[in-house]
Amino acid sequence: MIDTRAGNAGFAPGRRALRLLLAFTLLATLVGVPFGPVGARAQERPKPAAEKKRQAPTDAQGRGHATEPQGRGRPTVLIALHPGGGRLDPETGRPLTVFERLAARPALSLGFLGATQGQYSRRQALLDLTAGNRVSRSGYEPNDAPRFRIAKGKRGWEVHKWRKVVARAGSAPTDIVPGLLAGSVPGGAAFVGTREPPGLDAVLAANPDGRIPAVDIGRRSTLPARIERQLGERQLVVVALPRGTRGYAVLDRLLSKRPPEQLVVAMKRPPRSKLPQMLPIGIAGLFDGGTLTSRTTRLEGLVVTTDLMPTVLEWLGQPVPPQAAGRAILAQGHRDPAELMDLENRLRVVYPRRFPALYAVFIALATAALMLSLWGGAAGRRQALRVCALAIFWIPFVSLLCAALEPSRRVELLLMGAGTVVLGALCDRFVAWPRAPAIPALLGVTAYVLDLARGSDLIVRSLLGPNPRFGSRFYGIGNELEATLPVLLLIGLAAAAAAVPRSRRLAATFGIAMLVLGAAIGAGRLGADVGGVITVGAGAAAAVVVLLPGGVSRRAIALALAVPALALMALAAIDIVTGGDAHFTNTVLGADGPQALARTIGRRYELAWQTFLRGVMPVVTLVAIIATVYAWRRRHVLYAAVLDSPAWQAALVGGLAGSVAGTLTNDSGPVLLAVGVFVLAWATAYVRGDPRLAPVDSGSARTASAAAATDDADTGEFERPVRTGNSAG
């Protein structure tokens, strides 16, 4: 076996700089997390429901909000859906968008409404509005919504194929009741339109039995009068506005005559499309001139379909059913249509750029590996392993950088591809093996923790973030980053402390760093990711056990197994104290008895199974398992170069433990396993790129025969150190 201890002398170059980087990383995370949102683009956090009751606007700057009518009359809600169209922009010659037309009306607080979770369909968006709850298309059986329509039957106006709609909702892994919105309003809702039979929009006024209590169809000229008449009879009225300028004229008349006790919700009618939608929405009554948000999204300018039901019912003074998953919409801050358009424009291009960015990365990696291998021989192949691995480690940081810069498509793909490879090559050139991963890993994790502390504004705009257009997650990190960041942090710590002997101090350093990351990922006001807490906790516990001077003992193993549970308890305590309103606190601690808790756990595993069955995921999962077993069985060969480094051992064991724990406890378990093993595979590639090693060749076989006879059989494929520009010398 090669003597890796001799190579530790090569760790000296840049040691002081790396110590400073590690200290800065820990300081930045410890300082950044407790103080919450910072920076110019930080978002104001909505107040809990108990604090927002009957709260009027507080000043002219728009910092207050109201969710209940301030007048003394009977509260009413008007939902107006506009199909779009209208006059052209005199400067550009293109039709003005619905958002631009809503922004031209100062009485409206502005935002965008996430239409569906996952794949979009017009019918599904409308059904989600009526139910106040939603799941992705794959959560239903059948997947596609029935092709319902509005028709007049024996009971009056009703939704045709409603029984199929209800039956399909019953197959979802959560309680979904179509028609719950109108059914929760005394007397039900009314629909007002201009054509017969009514369009699909009328389903918003349907009760849980599929019947629409009142439908008022007439000429366009009588539309305002008929709306006012229905508002005098019912508290909730849904209106289909005419297309183009006539519809906006009706909206202007409604806004000009709006009494204080009336809430007007104007939004774009869900269009026919297969692309994910963020529908423009404006609300009059919450607070004139504000920006819309909710505790569901915690993102300024974005709300979701499930938020409409609690908003309407709280305004009307009615109880919100337990099946409703959303939170009441709030209006806060200043009104900046240009900033909202920037957000929508960025989110619109995130998904279309993801796969091209992935292709750009692998093309750049393949090009770099080919060039280095052809020009550098055996040493070049080792260098290719190091450079490509470092390029992978740079991807999270560069992705966040692109979110801040918001470059053009070509520039972003260039940065994600060639940019990461260039950064990897520079790190390999100027930082001695095996310390180079500390630079991209610790910088990347620090950047994400700081952005989580300021509201994850950049994360949601990045290619690796949870794209809010798909309606599953609106802040914090997604499954890919949940699996990547803990492993990346462990690798960065291992690289920075590669030559440090096993000690309690080193174990404490790993533990504290992972604790900070876990707090940032899991706290409700930051990441609100319960699965991430378990992943980080398990990884931290395994790493600390490996680093303790006493080694692995029964007591240490028992403590390691208890760490994830203790982390969840700490998460709940932090969330309760800070009012973070995390999903874990609501669904687990707020569960109505053991049966409700069992249903919640069952749903998570059902979703995990559905994820496993999706597309090529069974094959990817099998490959990840085979790679893990192979690496474990051949660990003395694959990781021979770092067997004398406790930090690297802790990183590899901790990364694997965290990935496995996340897989077993997350509702997207197979994804976490695949991503975690992917990052660990590149860490293995970097370790195998040790510049002191070279394959045996025929010309040196005779010279190496004596050394090979005394080497361990498992490491016979290596011969002797080679001198490269990155070598220990």
The pLDDT, as a whole number, for residue 552 is 65
Q: Which residue has the higher pLDDT, 276 or 289?
A: 276
Spatial neighbors of 296 by CB under 8 A, at least 6 apart, are 303, 304, 306, 307, 325, 326, 327, 474
Q: Cα–Cα distance between 248 and 97 in angstroms, integer?
A: 12
The pLDDT, as a whole number, for residue 87 is 72
The pLDDT of residue 5 is above 80: no
The pLDDT of residue 710 is above 70: no
Give the mean model confidence (pLDDT) for residues 592-619. 69
Beta strands in 57-141 (DSSP E): 76-82, 109-114
Around Cβ 322, how many Cβ atoms within 10 Å? 10
The pLDDT, as a whole number, for residue 55 is 36
Least confident of 80-94, 147-161, 274-288, 338-352: 80-94
Least confident of 84-98, 290-304, 476-490: 84-98
Provide the sign of the torsion angle of the four alpha carbons 472, 474, 477, 480, taken in this order. positive
Mind listing the pLDDT tens digit for each residue in 475-512?
888 888 989 999 999 999 999 999 999 998 999 899 89
The pLDDT of residue 114 is above 90: yes
What count of Cα atoms within 13 Å lies in the side-chain half-sphere of residue 557?
A: 3
Most confidently predicted of 26-35, 75-84, 565-574: 75-84
The pLDDT, as a whole number, for residue 575 is 57
Mind listing the pLDDT tens digit for each residue in 521-552?
876 555 556 677 888 888 988 898 889 887 66
Phi, psi values for residue 575, rounded to 5° = -65, -40
The pLDDT, as a whole number, for residue 58 is 34
Answer for the pair 316, 310: CB distance below 8 angstroms, yes or no.
Answer: no
Mind listing the pLDDT tens digit for each residue in 643-684?
899 999 999 999 999 999 888 877 777 888 999 999 999 999
Confidence of residue 298 (pLDDT cuts 50, 70, 90): confident
Mind listing the pLDDT tens digit for each residue in 220-242?
999 999 999 999 999 999 999 99
Mean pLDDT of the chain: 81
Q: How far is CA 57 from the centre of its chain?
A: 32
Least confident of 109-118, 244-253, 713-722: 713-722
The pLDDT, as a whole number, for residue 36 is 39
Q: Which residue has the higher pLDDT, 599 or 406?
A: 406
Beta strands in 518-623 (DSSP E): none
Q: Cα–Cα distance between 163 and 156 in angstroms, integer?
A: 16
Mind listing the pLDDT tens digit for each residue in 38-89?
333 333 333 333 333 333 333 333 333 445 554 458 999 999 999 998 777 6
Mind listing the pLDDT tens digit for each residue in 712-721?
434 333 333 3
Answer for the pair 647, 524: CB distance below 8 angstroms, yes or no.
Answer: no
- Nearest CA to 483 out of 686, 660, 685 is that of 660
Q: Can you give the pTM of this predicted structure?
A: 0.79
The proportion of the chain whose per-residue pLDDT surpasses 90, expressed as a percent, equals 57
Mind listing the pLDDT tens digit for each residue in 169-215?
999 888 999 999 999 999 999 999 998 889 999 999 999 999 999 99
